């Protein structure tokens, strides 16, 4: 009897030990499977957008600077002959470095790169990481309404409206964008340092061009994400837009980028003109008229129309199409590519 009792207790203890060992093993596996905060960030849209923003700055910032300087130039770019036109473009873009070496010219196209990097990273993270969150929120809470109103196009409209809302909220980053534009187009405004500029401009000054930015970003982001979603849904017949390939994302973003630029270029020119003004002394060249203090967007648009004509709204359009479209295509495609690569299931 004692032997039987001992054997029963021993088996019971062994079963308890094995069950506790198995439970601890399960807990350990669960802890290992649970991703850390760093792993969550690495596999998120935020990390993908950050990487895409840094690469975009390195590749496209010089072209962006050239486009901004062409936009803010007053008067005609073209001259009677091709050589004179090229010489004038060289002076507009490189200014006092027009006769410098190629390396010096390249370095001169990176002014305000610190503000550009900070602004671009925040902007790309906000836009390309925020838009999927807003889109998923709209799908979860208002999916039925979108389906009832837009039918089969409800996914496209969810993407487009989410992009529009994100574009409106992008105005929060306007001070960083203003510092970037001033560094690119108006070195005198930055010559006394950031603190002096902030004191002279004030909060209101740093948000100059807010109305134009809203009018530019809302339709621009609507077309960017809506055009991309339209291409994925109706051209490539992709039901789950997250499963688009690199080529499909590239084609979709090309359509979205071209639509976005076409509708937002006039507002972008006005925004750039408003942002480049000095805080206390701005001169609008033409018919010897000068305007003291900053001009708002409406007055700027009227002044441009009166003194430079309708074509002034489309200054820099060619370099903007050639440069901004690839920038948007690159940022959109690389964000999706990096995100999909980081979230690829392990075999």
Q: What is the pLDDT along the chain (347 residues), one digit of tens a residue?
A: 454 444 555 555 555 455 555 555 545 555 555 667 777 777 888 888 888 888 888 888 788 778 778 877 777 777 888 888 888 888 888 887 888 888 888 888 876 667 777 887 888 889 999 999 999 999 999 999 999 999 989 999 999 999 999 999 998 988 888 787 777 666 676 667 777 777 777 777 788 778 878 888 999 999 999 999 999 999 999 988 888 999 999 999 999 998 998 888 888 888 777 766 644 344 444 444 433 345 677 888 888 888 888 888 877 777 777 777 888 899 999 999 999 888 876 54
Residue 92 forms part of a structural domain: yes
Residue 32 forms part of a structural domain: no
Q: Look-up: residue for tokens 């999916």?
A: 143
Specify whether the CB–CB gap between 255 and 228 falls below 8 A: yes
Residue 19 forms part of a structural domain: no
Give me the sign of the Cα torsion angle 195, 202, 94, 68: positive
Phi and psi at 40, nearest 5°, equal -65, -40
Burial of 347 (0-12, 13-18, 19+ CB in 10 A): exposed
Please state, in angstroms and rounded to a whole number, the distance separating the CA atoms of residues 121 and 206: 19
**Count: domains in the chain:** 1
Domain at 241, CATH number: 1.50.40.10
Please state, in angstroms and rounded to a whole number, the distance separating the CA atoms of residues 155 and 135: 9
Residue 11 forms part of a structural domain: no
Domain that holds residue 238: 41-342
Q: What is the pTM of this model?
A: 0.70
**DSSP calls for 114-138:** HHHHHHHHHHHIIIIIHHHHHHHHH
């Amino acid at each position: 009897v004692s032997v039987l009792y001992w054997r029963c207790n021993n088996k019971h203890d062994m079963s308890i030990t094995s069950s506790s060992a198995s439970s601890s093993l399960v807990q350990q596996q669960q802890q290992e499977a649970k991703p850390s905060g760093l792993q969550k960030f690495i596999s998120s849209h935020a990390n993908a957008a950050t990487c895409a923003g840094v690469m975009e700055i390195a590749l496209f910032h010089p072209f962006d600077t050239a486009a901004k300087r062409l936009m803010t130039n007053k008067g005609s770019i073209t001259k009677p002959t091709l050589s004179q036109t090229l010489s004038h473009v060289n002076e507009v873009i490189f200014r006092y470095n027009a006769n410098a070496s190629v390396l010096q010219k390249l370095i001169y196209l990176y002014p305000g790169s610190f503000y550009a990097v900070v602004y671009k990273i925040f902007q790309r993270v906000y836009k390309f990481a925020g838009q999927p969150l807003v889109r998923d929120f709209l799908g979860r809470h208002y999916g039925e309404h979108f389906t009832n109103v837009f039918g089969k196009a409800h996914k496209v409209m969810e993407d487009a409206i989410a992009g529009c809302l994100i574009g409106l909220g992008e105005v929060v980053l306007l001070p960083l964008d203003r510092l970037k534009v001033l560094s690119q187009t108006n070195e005198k405004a930055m010559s006394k340092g950031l603190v002096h500029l902030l004191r002279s401009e004030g909060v209101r000054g740093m948000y100059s061009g807010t109305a134009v930015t809203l009018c530019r970003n809302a339709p621009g982001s609507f077309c960017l994400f809506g055009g991309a979603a339209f291409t994925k849904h109706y051209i490539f017949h992709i039901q789950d837009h997250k499963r688009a390939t690199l080529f499909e994302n590239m084609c979709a973003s090309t359509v979205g980028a071209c639509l976005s630029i076409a509708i937002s270029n006039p507002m972008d020119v006005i925004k750039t003109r408003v942002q480049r003004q000095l805080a206390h002394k701005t001169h609008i060249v033409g018919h010897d008229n000068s305007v003291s203090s900053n001009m708002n967007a409406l007055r700027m648009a009227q002044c441009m129309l009166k003194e430079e004509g309708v074509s002034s709204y489309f200054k820099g359009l060619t370099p903007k199409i050639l440069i901004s479209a690839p920038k948007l295509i690159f940022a959109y495609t690389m964000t999706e590519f990096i995100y999909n690569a980081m979230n690829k299931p392990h075999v």
